[in-house]
Amino acid sequence: MGKMLFFKFVLTPLLVVGFNTTALAERGDTPVGGDHENQLLTIKELTEQGHYLEAILRSEDNTNYKPLGEIIAAAKSAWALSLVSSARKYWDQALSHKDCVGVEKARALLALGLIEFQEHNYERSRSLAEEGVAEISESDLRGELWLLVGESLKAQELYSLAEGYLEKAGYESSGVRKQEAYLSLAQVQKQLGKLNEARSTLTRIELSSSVTTRALSELVTIDAKAKNSQGVRTWIGEGRKSFPSEFNTSETGYNIVKALVSEGLINDATSEVQKVTKEVHEDDVWFQLSRALVEEYSGREYLESLSANSNKNLNR
């Protein structure tokens, strides 16, 4: 699992300082100038309709005072086109606008913080998020800002500091952000060696959540590390029932075999290996490891049996 689970970005290769109209045209974006109907639209309307380039070009007209909503729309258009420097510029303009206060300022700080996080400027993203937190009271938005603070610290491997902020994020946010906060918090707790706390946090994630498969995978890892084979079997069983495509893999099969072997359930382990045999190529590494576990256990059991019989014969 990567560090940046929070607010994933889908970016194109066009990461430029300014904006290149030729490159944008080649990508199929709205040509410079647009049609007459578009010229009657505001920057906000152009952005909402996906005319991002025209929105940016319109925003470059410095002859008129622009309302805060128009500057924010230009920032969103620049972001949509992966024009990072331009997006930064517009968000900075928005933050210096006289109407950018309270909730609006917190939202702008979150947006700019996310850009800095995406660019791996974690100190800056954390600073912006903390500034946003100071602007508003307890709310979903403040929960998202706490989450950005926690994720920035986590990305810097400052796990002890990140833990508290992620706990706040889980408490104040809702919906998918709450679930993401729980998952990230559990990953931090695992890094800190707090396996019981991590397990408890992960079980708070809803089964219908978009992060449930990752949560179950984390639970498998935690219980495997704690040598809780029953827990490994439980979480994989839940994963196979609810998310068969993600959990019917050779790696999952290996984890099941390892858990079964540790409990001495060699017949069940053998059945699992046979099941995996039908689904993967024999060269598959996880399959080979699974088979080796069963063969090692069976060989050890056979030798122990021979030794026991030899001792019986000597005692006669």
Q: DSSP letters along 256-315, please?
A: HHHHHHHTT-HHHHHHHHHHHHTTS-TT-HHHHHHHHHHHHHHHHHHHHHHHHHHHHHHT
Q: What is the pLDDT of residues 3-44, one digit of tens each?
A: 445 544 333 333 333 334 434 443 444 444 455 556 678 888
**pTM to 2 decimal places:** 0.75
pLDDT tens-digit map of 113-140: 999 999 999 999 999 999 999 999 999 9
Residues 47-70 pLDDT 10s: 889 998 988 888 887 667 789 999
Bin 228: left if φ > 0, else alpha if -120 < ψ < 50, else beta: beta
Per-residue pLDDT tens over the stretch 278-304: 777 778 888 888 888 888 877 776 565
For the segment 217-233, the average pLDDT, to the nearest whole number, is 88
pLDDT, mean of residues 263-282: 80
* Mean pLDDT for the stretch of residues 226-252: 87
pLDDT score recorded for residue 2:
43
Condensed to tens digits (0 to 9), the pLDDT of residues 171-192 reads: 999 999 999 999 999 999 999 9
Higher pLDDT: 213 or 19? It is: 213
pLDDT at 193 over 60: yes
Q: Which are the contacts of 303, defined by CB distance < 8 A and separation ≥ 6? A: none
**Which stretch of 217-231, 269-283, 293-307 has the lowest confidence by average pLDDT?**
293-307
Between the CA atoms of 117, 123, 128 and 131, what dihedral angle is there, to the nearest 10 degrees?
150
Distance CA 171, CA 43 (A): 37
Q: What is the mean pLDDT of residues 63-80?
A: 88
Residue 202 neighbours by CB distance under 10 Å: 25
